[in-house]
Amino acid sequence: MISLPSFYFMPPNHRRCLSCRKVAPKEEFLRVVRLYPSHEISIDTGMGRSAYLCPNPNCVQAAQKKGRLSRALKATVPSEIYQHLLQQKQGEVQATQPELY
Ligand SMILES: [Zn+2]
């Protein structure tokens, strides 16, 4: 039995936070999308290349500071997007439904 480092482990429908690399069901994350084909940046809706962040100001700010979101999406992420992300779900802990596999 070979034990792999935890970051290799990705259960179905789970995503990883760009900042802290936490893995959780994708519903728990903020989703940032570079829309196809307009390349506009959108939060939570739309089709295209997407990246995930914890609904946690620390993760959002770290992603902004290190340009991780822009790099992941291969697009410039306007500061308004970060403002929106910081306002989303702040202080509000959502009870997530247990998922059955
Ligand atoms: Zn995080």
Q: How far apart are CA 64 and CA 52, in angstroms?
A: 13
pLDDT (0 to 100) of residue 36: 95
pLDDT (0 to 100) of residue 69: 96
pLDDT (0 to 100) of residue 100: 54
In a domain, 93, yes or no: no
**60 CA to middle of ligand 1, Å?**
8
**50 CA to middle of ligand 1, Å?**
15
**38 CA to middle of ligand 1, Å?**
27
In a domain, 95, yes or no: no
- pLDDT tens digits, 35-63: 999 999 999 999 999 999 999 999 999 99
Q: Output the pTM of the full model.
A: 0.78
Domain that holds residue 52: 13-87
Q: Is pLDDT above 60 for 101?
A: no
Q: Is pLDDT above 70 for 12?
A: yes
- pLDDT tens digits, 65-96: 999 999 999 999 999 999 999 987 654 555 55
In a domain, 66, yes or no: yes
In a domain, 64, yes or no: yes
In a domain, 48, yes or no: yes
Domain count along the chain = 1
Residue 49 is part of a domain; what is its CATH number? 3.30.1230.10
